[in-house]
Amino acid sequence: AALAAALFNGSARGWTGRGTGVDDAGLALETQVVVDGLTLHAGVTDNPLQALRCLGGRELAAMSGAIARARELRIPVILDGFICTAAAAVLERCAPGALDHTVAGHVSAEGAHRALLGHLGKAPLLDLGLRLGEGSGAALAIGVLKGALACHSGMSTFAEAGVVGG
C-alpha cells in the first residue's frame, strides 16, 4: 500500500484495505504504518526505484526484477494480486510500456487493487472477488489464457472452413 501511494499519490487509507479479512484494529494499524512509512520516506516519491527500495522490501524488489527479466527473455507474466501489481507498477513508472508483456490475471476484492490496475491501464481477465492470495487468481487465469491461445492458434479461417459470404 505504501509503495502504491508513493507511486500514484492518494491517501494511505485509500491504498489500504482488509486484505484477507483483517479487523478494524488491524486495518487502523496497517493504515498508520503506511502513513509512517510515507512520512519517513517523503523524498522518494519522485523516484520509483527509490520508492521500491524504501517502501517495498526485498520481496517486492525480487518480483520487480523477475518481471523485468521476463520481459528481456520475452516471457509473458500473469500479475496476481495487489502486492504483485504494486511491484510491477514500479517498472511502468520507470519506463512506460515496461509491462506490455504482462496481463492482470484477476482483480482482487481489494479496492486498491482495482485502482492500481486502472493506473496501469490493465484490465483483469477475471473479476471473481478473490482474496485468497497464494497465486490463486493467476492459477485460474492460466486456463482462460490457454483457451484463448487454443482458439487463436487452432481455429480455421472462414476460407479454410469453407464459410461463404462471411
The residue extents of the domains of the chain are: 2-154
Instruction: Say whether pTM exceeds 0.85.
Output: no
pLDDT of residue 72: 97
| Catalytic annotation, residues | 134
- Per the model's pLDDT, the better-predicted residue between 131 and 31 turns out to be 31
* Structural class in CATH, domain 2-154: alpha beta
Q: Lowest mean pLDDT: which of 9-23, 63-77, 99-113?
A: 9-23
Please report where in the chains the cell 498508520 appears, as a residue: 32
Q: What is the mean pLDDT of the chain?
A: 90
Summarize pLDDT for 95-126 with one digit per residue, the tens: 999 999 999 998 987 889 999 999 999 999 88
Task: Mention every residue, 6+ apart, whose C-beta is less than 8 A from residue 110.
Answer: 17, 18, 19, 82, 131
The neighbour count for residue 29, using CB atoms within 10 Å, is 13
